[in-house]
Structure 1
Amino acid sequence: MNAKIHFNVDPVVRKNLDFSLDKIGRHWFGNDPFKSRFFDSVSLLFPDGERYFIESVRQFRDLIRDEKLNQEVGDFIRQEAQHSIAHSKMNNVLESHGLPVTQITAEANEIFQWMSNNFSPRFNLALTAAFEHLTALMAESFFAEKAAFAEADPFVRALLAWHSIEEMEHRDVAFDVMKTVGDVPESMRKVALVVAVLHMFGIGLIRTNELLRYDGYSKVERLKLFSSGLPWFFGRKGILPKMNKQFFSWFKQDFHPSQHPVIAQYDVWVDVLAQTQDPIQAGQAFWEAGRE
């Protein structure tokens, strides 16, 4: 694939995309309970997490004097709002499968509210920038190679492909707000990524265990599922460690998200959506354009 290399792309707000999520099965990732429930646990965090990101950046919007950055912040807010809506629809499907969605999302809301109320605005902004760095890297790790999501349900894969595209588009917005008007010390910026990782994966794995328990798996069965599933994510040859170089670049003094190229098949998704107006076809083409 002769892909055009982008190091920076502007956010584009896309509304009312239909991913036909009502068609997905209970264990939609290759009938693998662990992989399915891990991604479900992250989806359950997204609606309140996106609202937290929006509010954390909005706290500083009145200080922004750069017109382009101000426009990007507006697009970032609108994109994150659409992500919240889409993942709420996904969560409604999970609830129809008998999962305790209302309970878990209420707990997620309490956690994000606690963070907003107890952390300083500067640290909440730094955390948001760190989460955006993390999610952009996760997007690439999931879609850069076809094998990673080969067994995923095409409708959920399309949802995550769209979300990944927009993470690439706005990955530097919160960071630029932080560097321009946030007055965030370097030590705080670096600590924020550690906290973001512990939050996302710590809570994600706790929720994965809870969802598997609701699926009826015993403690011993859940332990076996974790033992076989965790290496796929975090093992030496897992999908996340492939992004270690980009991940650790956050700790360099001169780091900026745009130092890393946007995922190679970005234009494929954008072009197919423009041609078909169908995010499912765009998601399929995006996945198929990944490396073998």
Structure 2
Amino acid sequence: MNAYLQHQVDPVVRKNLDFKLDQIPRFWFGGDPFRTRMFDALSLTFPVGERYFIQSVRALRDRITDNELQQKVTDFIQQEAQHGLTHDRMNNEMKKQGMPVDDFVKFMDDRFSYLIKNRSKQYNIAMTAAAEHLTALMAETFYSKKETLIDVHPYVRALFAWHAIEEMEHRDVAFDVMQEVGEVSERLRKFALTFITIQMFGFTFYRANVMLKHDGFNRLERAKFAIQGLPWFFGQKGTLSAMSSSYKDWFKADFHPSQHPVIRQYQTWIDALAETDDPIAAGEAFWQAAL
């Protein structure tokens, strides 16, 4: 781990952050239903997904002998728990809008419970480490350029900024647990990222489509949304396409998450939160400081 300390930041547990999610409009991404529901669909995953990550790491905790890693695991668990609680609040707002949140959550909960009970600890920690790599890259990608989220409501932008900051702080924890005590083969490690990527984006698109149906859009309207909206995410110049090089680094034999620098304006968010004690103000400063 010491070889990568220049790009590591310590996880910090932050509680009771208020993002005023009950005040955001229905289509908070500049009035765009498709982009809004794609991000909403991603948010739906977090509470159940974070619990799965916690369980996967906790299952190997008794093998860890390094005190520093033990502390990082403690902080990781607490950060992920806070993410779950906060995204639960966002998901409750979707539920008020008539979205089938309970059905989505039950499906995901059943799926993750099955994995914990029926898959090996090696499989689950590999999936967790891969998912953490993917979400950290997404955090970097969405906030590295100011124009990317320019149309997003400031409260939601602040929520995802906070989540992005903490993903970067603990991006290496599950990976280090996997490498130190997980006994995960290179084949499984590499497979995990490919599989989790297909799963994450496939289910995100599916849930977004279902939510748009509940918004009252017919099949043709939803098809037009997808044709027009997906290139923003995955097109040749798409937002997520921009992270392809960093994404592929995972498949190198000597890869470690902390080989990637932390986002340039990380300290801006830290300082703004310390000065204002307001996560919305910190999120705005963080976004404003992007290129």
Alpha-carbon deviations, 1:24-50, whole Å to 9, x = none?
111110000000000100111110000
Alpha-carbon deviations, 1:116-140, whole Å to 9, x = none?
2232110100000000000000001
Does the CA-based 8 Å contact 1:143-1:287 persist in structure 2? yes
| Stretches of structure 1 lacking an aligned partner (at least 5 in a row) | none
Q: Is 2:10 the counterpart of 1:14? A: no
| Alpha-carbon separation, structure 1, partners of 2:258 and 2:83 | 22
| Alpha-carbon separation, structure 2, partners of 1:214 and 1:67 | 49
Alpha-carbon offset, residue 60 of structure 1: 0.3
Does the CA-based 8 Å contact 1:57-1:174 persist in structure 2? yes
Aligned length: 287
**% identity of equivalent residues:** 55
| Alpha-carbon separation, structure 1, partners of 2:118 and 2:204 | 22
Runs of 4 or more consecutive aligned structure 1 residues displaced over 4 Å after TM superposition = none
- Partner residue of 2:87? 87
SS at structure 2 position matched to 1:263:
coil
- Partner residue of 1:140? 140
Alpha-carbon deviations, 1:154-210, whole Å to 9, x = none?
101100000000000000000000000000000000000011101110111110110
- Partner residue of 1:237? 237
Alpha-carbon offset, residue 6 of structure 1: 5.9
Change in CA separation of 1:219 and 1:6 when aligned onto 2, cut-off 3 Å: farther
- Partner residue of 2:274? 274
**Aligned letter for 2:128?**
T
SS at structure 1 position matched to 2:249:
helix
Alpha-carbon offset, residue 106 of structure 1: 1.2
- Partner residue of 1:157? 157
| Alpha-carbon separation, structure 2, partners of 1:96 and 1:21 | 12
- Partner residue of 2:246? 246
**Aligned letter for 1:9?**
V
- Partner residue of 1:126? 126
Aligned 1:44-123 pairs, distance under 5 A: 44-123=44-123
Change in CA separation of 1:10 and 1:35 when aligned onto 2, cut-off 3 Å: same
Does the CA-based 8 Å contact 1:6-1:262 persist in structure 2? no
- Partner residue of 2:169? 169
Aligned-residue CA RMSD (Å): 1.0
| Alpha-carbon separation, structure 2, partners of 1:102 and 1:245 | 36
| Alpha-carbon separation, structure 2, partners of 1:6 and 1:86 | 30
- Using the size of structure 2 for normalisation, the TM-score is 0.97
Does the CA-based 8 Å contact 1:60-1:182 persist in structure 2? yes
